[in-house]
Structure 1
């Protein structure tokens, strides 16, 4: 019977009559040939039990984390017996597997170039209803079971994805894979390489990242200094660990991070040419805010240049001034409470 790791450990302690049923390193040789599983296992998520204390055949639920950051539960036998065809670069994760396997239509044999797969429902063709016939033999040139000719499918109103109806002209966008003018389909988040420089810290924790870009805005530095003059916050962290990739990283880099309050502050302007934080870049800002809120953080954006507010606590201002800092402090009090924020006042 499969059971949680803490209940399994207590049961083994009782049956063996010792506080440590399995010594550290007892099953080291059994796990030595699975370096990926060793990397995915974290003792702090498994009642402090290290992997070399777990028998490979134990029916116990263990918590694992893939390289992207997805956390899942599986038994030792399930992890050791994953088929190689389901692994992606020898790293298995249920969520990554789903995202890395998009739905595709099957490739038909070359001798049937004009045939298309029939839909799951019955198709009425030429006044009769055709259904897949199981076990029927066919002669050379016959149509395979469950497949109808393209002309009959067109008459029935069945057009497969990517096919061009009769009389229509394929556009340049539709003719290219993925429907994009640039050629091949853009790889999914699971298929792209994710930076591995992010330290293995819990999701939502602030840390110092080697990938974070340096501060390039004088306004951000001015705003950080104004907050530092009023509050004793920690301003050394520059990244927050996420639970899913964001632009090939599992971390986000807000302009200002207040770990004591778990509040991230962003300064947004349209830039010199009026193209910053608009259009697709605005959608990226929304994705970033959702990713931060998903790990327990709140986001305050100071929006200038007539940029619209994206969140409930965003401030629309003409520029950073003393009044702007006062409004920001009041917003922090609204988010976390007066007593909590004022506890860090200088």
Structure 2
């Protein structure tokens, strides 16, 4: 087997005899970037005796023993399954229990939730706030499945009265955000919301193509985009429901 060194510093030592140097990051670092995680976060979840091995790991299919955030038994899984899968098997079974299903779909306020918000997302919120009564009493929705190890999702904007979540996607400076695995993750998040009675409107900016019937493709967030979001809300929930939270023109 040929030893490989990567631009991220993982793999074989640079210049080692018989090794091949690649001018890209290793598969694990690439997956961490796509899923917007860090190796430090990953190291915090693995069983302590295996941290040194994971710190140097380059293969996404390599298996380790992982710790559950809720204190359940450790479970064996690959790096790719931990970063993109449901996580702890017992948590997954608990999410499908009758008690958990009764709470599925409930919006709630998660204290201390820190999610990076771009200026564009803030502009979208302002534009929608000029058209609708947006309440800020909820920032998460309970789901009937595990999503990145949690039984909840955190949409960008929640319109709880309509059970509609609004997401803003942008490829970012790298041009790779919300593509590849992250695109699949976005679709899984949408499915998790739909199965508990919510619908999702995605604003796909920066040239990203729409992924579903209620997605808006645009180059930038404008008043016209906000109007289209409100129109889609009417398509999804009906005029009466939207009129109940609509603001009179020029009220803000």
Scaled by the length of structure 2, what TM-score is found? 0.60
CA contact (8 A) 1:231 1:344 kept: yes
Once the two structures are superposed, what CA deviation does each residue of 1:285-325 show, in whole Å capped at 9, x if it has no partner? 01101100010000000001221211210001111011111
Of 303, 314, 330, the residue aligned with 2:215 is 314
The 3-state SS of whatever aligns with 1:243 is: strand
The 3-state SS of whatever aligns with 2:166 is: strand
Partner of 1:302: 203
Partner of 2:125: 224
Of 162, 166, 170, the residue aligned with 1:265 is 166
Once the two structures are superposed, what CA deviation does each residue of 1:39-64 show, in whole Å capped at 9, x if it has no partner? xxxxxxxxxxxxxxxxxxxxxxxxxx
Q: Which protein has greater RCO, CA pairs closer than 8 Å, 6+ apart?
A: 2
Aligned length: 165
Scaled by the length of structure 1, what TM-score is found? 0.44
Partner of 2:176: 275
Shift of 1:193: 7.9
CA contact (8 A) 1:263 1:297 kept: yes
Distance in 2 separating the partners of 1:214 and 1:273 = 19
Once the two structures are superposed, what CA deviation does each residue of 1:207-233 show, in whole Å capped at 9, x if it has no partner? 111363234211111111211122123
Describe the shift of the 1:180–1:265 C-alpha distance in structure 2 as closer, same or farther (beyond 3 A): closer
Once the two structures are superposed, what CA deviation does each residue of 1:56-107 show, in whole Å capped at 9, x if it has no partner? xxxxxxxxxxxxxxxxxxxxxxxxxxxxxxxxxxxxxxxxxxxxxxxxxxxx
Pairs within 5 Å for 1:243-254: 243-254=144-155
Shift of 1:182: 3.3
Distance in 1 separating the partners of 2:137 and 2:88 = 33
Distance in 2 separating the partners of 1:254 and 1:191 = 22
The 3-state SS of whatever aligns with 2:183 is: helix
Pairs within 5 Å for 1:77-156: none
Distance in 2 separating the partners of 1:227 and 1:310 = 22
Shift of 1:261: 0.4
Once the two structures are superposed, what CA deviation does each residue of 1:95-146 show, in whole Å capped at 9, x if it has no partner? xxxxxxxxxxxxxxxxxxxxxxxxxxxxxxxxxxxxxxxxxxxxxxxxxxxx
Distance in 2 separating the partners of 1:248 and 1:219 = 28
Shift of 1:192: 5.9
Of 328, 335, 338, the residue aligned with 2:239 is 338
The 3-state SS of whatever aligns with 2:201 is: strand
Of 182, 194, 219, the residue aligned with 2:62 is 182
Once the two structures are superposed, what CA deviation does each residue of 1:137-194 show, in whole Å capped at 9, x if it has no partner? xxxxxxxxxxxxxxxxxxxxxxxxxxxxxxxxxxxxxxxxxx9553554267363685
Distance in 2 separating the partners of 1:286 and 1:302 = 13
Matched, 1:326 2:227: yes
Q: Show structure 1 runs of 5+ residues with no match.
A: 1-178
Q: Going by fraction, where is helix more abundant, 1 or 2?
A: 2
Describe the shift of the 1:193–1:301 C-alpha distance in structure 2 as closer, same or farther (beyond 3 A): same
CA contact (8 A) 1:233 1:260 kept: no
RMSD (Å) for aligned C-alpha atoms = 2.5
Partner of 1:173: none
The 3-state SS of whatever aligns with 1:334 is: helix
CA contact (8 A) 1:235 1:256 kept: no
The 3-state SS of whatever aligns with 1:209 is: coil
Q: Show structure 2 runs of 5+ residues with no match.
A: 1-58, 65-76, 95-99, 248-252
